[in-house]
């Protein structure tokens, strides 16, 4: 029987490939899957053929799936999503927080809270909000 797991799906507006490369570098993980609309069995129109239909990267034990919206759809970066990561090692927590903050916005500096010895919030350069805590 398979283990229960949490997966997160992030949508982008044509820059999914850049986001996937960025997160691969931050978390030192290789994507486990990547497919463009053009590579799909039923293909796609020329406007979308190079956009990412599906990709997946493991981050801290969770599968994070990423894709570009079709060019006919409207999407709002960071709408109704926050990714929360618990990291036991403080140096790794600070490294990841710093990487995500590059080109983004620190919403709450890393600090002690009533629920974690170290916690901070950052919105990365793609508009994705992250909550990072030491566990």
For residue 2, tell me if it sits in a domain. Answer: no
Same-domain pairing of 52 and 94: no
Residue where one domain finishes, among candidates 20, 38, 68? 68
Instruction: List the domain range (segments joined by +) for residue 120.
Output: 83-134
Residue where one domain finishes, among candidates 36, 68, 100? 68
Sheet with 62-68, side-by-side order of all strands? 7-12, 62-68, 52-59, 33-36
Is 48 a residue whose pLDDT tops 60? yes
Same-domain pairing of 62 and 92: no
For residue 61, tell me if it sits in a domain. Answer: yes
Structural domains in the chain (count)? 2
For residue 90, tell me if it sits in a domain. Answer: yes
Query: What digits encode the pLDDT tens for the residues 72-88?
Result: 887 776 675 778 888 88
127 burial (CB, 10 Å; 0-12 / 13-18 / 19+) is: middle
Is the pTM higher than 0.95?
A: no
Residue where one domain finishes, among candidates 38, 68, 98? 68
pLDDT of residue 35: 92
Is 101 a residue whose pLDDT tops 60? yes
Q: What is the CATH number for 94?
A: 3.30.720.110
Distance CA 122, CA 130 (A): 5
Query: What digits encode the pLDDT tens for the residues 3-46?
Result: 555 578 888 999 999 999 999 999 999 999 999 999 988 776 67
């Amino acid at each position: 029987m398979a283990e229960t797991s949490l997966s997160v799906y992030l949508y982008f507006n044509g820059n999914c490939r850049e986001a996937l490369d960025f997160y691969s570098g931050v978390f030192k993980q290789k994507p486990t899957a990547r497919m463009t609309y053009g590579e799909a069995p039923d293909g796609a129109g020329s406007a979308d053929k190079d956009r990412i239909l599906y990709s997946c990267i493991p981050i801290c034990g969770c599968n994070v799936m990423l894709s570009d919206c079709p060019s006919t759809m409207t999407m709002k970066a960071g709408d109704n999503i926050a990714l929360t990561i618990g990291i036991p090692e403080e140096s790794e927590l600070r490294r990841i927080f710093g990487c995500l903050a590059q080109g983004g916005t620190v919403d709450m500096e890393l600090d002690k809270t009533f629920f974690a010895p170290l916690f901070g919030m950052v919105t990365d350069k793609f508009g994705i909000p992250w909550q990072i805590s030491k566990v």
